[in-house]
Structure 1
């Protein structure tokens, strides 16, 4: 089994027929058919069913297809990295991130580019657990800054800091002068919360549940900026990370800590384990960890 055989096999499945796959691969149909047969013989397994007009996979074929796609992605990634090292050096860095990092990430990048002035940095917002995981696995990013913890042996998850979650009210709200805000105070408020699948939503709902109450959810959002706009219009209240507050200019809002809860979240650096990381990526990880060590 070699890279060429895996390429032929996955192309056949992706295209759904020998005719379309052979055109895609620029080889004859007999050559493609022979290559697939040799792959099956070398493994001693039947990979595709040949009793129907459509290509269908056996159980063994399904497993090989999934693993072959991963391997081919990795082959491509390694080739691109080696080519970059040979010709230009690894001058790209793709980072997935959450909204609240804007309070500190520019400071880290400012320090980082002093030693990497020619680096091209791509910043991509990734929010849900599955979205981050797929982006890492599919080589869409080198690393992610996320509040998601990955229970996955293939992903390294390093905690870098912890931040509190705070309540946000419109000005002139009845609770704005109350010294100690509790979850019970928020029980009947129209609540603005992140969509299903977001870790912050899960943390907030769990805190309410532990207090024996449920939030009165009226709006769901993907971005904190959207939540702030709704609060400013007097449409409800929300709970957001304190680091997002420090990086935002919303003088028309009232910010309150929640006295009776341990509402907080951990922010992590996440990247694929056992995968080559270019030196510029390793340096960024080192600088990020160092930044938070100096803040302790």
Structure 2
């Protein structure tokens, strides 16, 4: 039993005529008669009474008619929804962002994309880098912007661009006018850190081991906006990415000496077919980067994206 036979069956039942059904469907009458005959043979039941001049449903045919109409209606609904998904008029995007990037910094980019595709639902989860990797593996999000390019058996990471970790202090902080600052000097300051940001913690722990200076952690928070506000109020220093902090009012960014480059990548499950809406968002993100005259190959939609180790040039993110 297939949808074509059911369509012919429903139209013959509605028209009470093989000829009229053929005319409406623009199909030769013998083709419709043959399809109904095969359907009756398949079910081993008579669906139409052909004894009179008109064609009338049998009792068995009446039972099938209700099911056929329901099935064809579901086919039509499925086609409509698939068309909406193809045209990006329906769908959901679930994105993970590391705390050090912050969803508030991502907001202008999301706003611009939403204008292009207003019917798409977008969920942004802000967590630590390792937890985002876990959420991707557990299928709780579709993809995430990750720090670093480490892959594993379940995760692929496509390099996006190279950023730089910088010290962040208040505008009137003694370090604010320096051309650069060492990690040893920064360790002498009260520190404001994210609770679950592996990048910040690892940078400070490595510097602490090398210098023998224990970090003075004054505040921890999971909120990107609160961390920036505390720094701007002079409550302490922190480390953020240059692209998400260099334009913040009340903050000054100071390059670290030596520099600390940070690779940003797009992480997703290995061998995972990204939904059309997610592929569209990734294409949009890379187009925004290309507009900054940064040459990156666009990720093709509906493809499994290969990893690459080619170095990328530092660039200001399009959402800053």
- Counterpart contact for 1:112–1:284, Cα < 8 Å: no
Structure number with larger C-alpha Rg: 2
**Higher helix proportion:** 1
Partner of 1:160: 160
Distance 1:201 1:234, change over 3 A: same
Residue 110 of structure 1 is matched in structure 2 by: 112
| Residue 255 of structure 1 pairs with residue 257 of structure 2 | no
Distance 1:94 1:84 in 2: 23
Matching of residue 282 in structure 1 with residue 292 in structure 2: no
After superposition, residues 95-244 of structure 1 pair within 5 angstroms as 95-99=95-99, 100=101, 102-103=104-105, 106-107=108-109, 110-111=112-113, 113-114=115-116, 116-129=117-130, 131-147=131-147, 149-196=149-196, 198-210=198-210, 213-244=213-244
Cα pair 1:135 1:141 within 8 Å, conserved:
yes
Are 1:265 and 2:262 matched, yes or no?
Answer: yes
- Show the 5 A alignment for 1:13-162: 85-86=81-82, 88-89=84-85, 90-99=90-99, 100=101, 102-103=104-105, 106-107=108-109, 110-111=112-113, 113-114=115-116, 116-129=117-130, 131-147=131-147, 149-162=149-162
Matches of 1:218 and 1:187, distance apart in 2:
12
Q: 1:98–1:182: structure 2 CA closer, same or farther, 3 Å change rule?
A: same
Q: Deviations over 1:207-237 (max 9, x none)?
A: 4544564433332232332222322343321
CA contact (8 A) 2:97 2:126 kept: yes
Q: Distance in 2 between matches of 1:273 and 1:237?
A: 38
* Distance across 2 between alignment mates of 1:220 and 1:83: 50
Alpha carbons of structure 1 residues 240 and 103: separation in structure 2 relative to 1, 3 Å: same
Q: Which consecutive residues of structure 1, in runs of 5 or more, have no partner in the other structure? A: 1-81
1:279 Cα deviation after fit: 1.9
Residue 85 to residue 257, structure 1, CA distance change in 2 (3 Å): same
Structure 2: runs of 5+ lacking an equivalent: 1-77, 295-320
The TM-score with structure 1 as length reference comes to 0.60
Structure 1 CA distance for aligned equivalents of residues 236 and 111 of structure 2: 35
- When the two chains are superposed, the root-mean-square deviation of aligned CA atoms in Å is 3.1
Q: Distance in 2 between the 1:274 and 1:126 partners?
A: 24
Secondary structure of 1:290 counterpart = helix
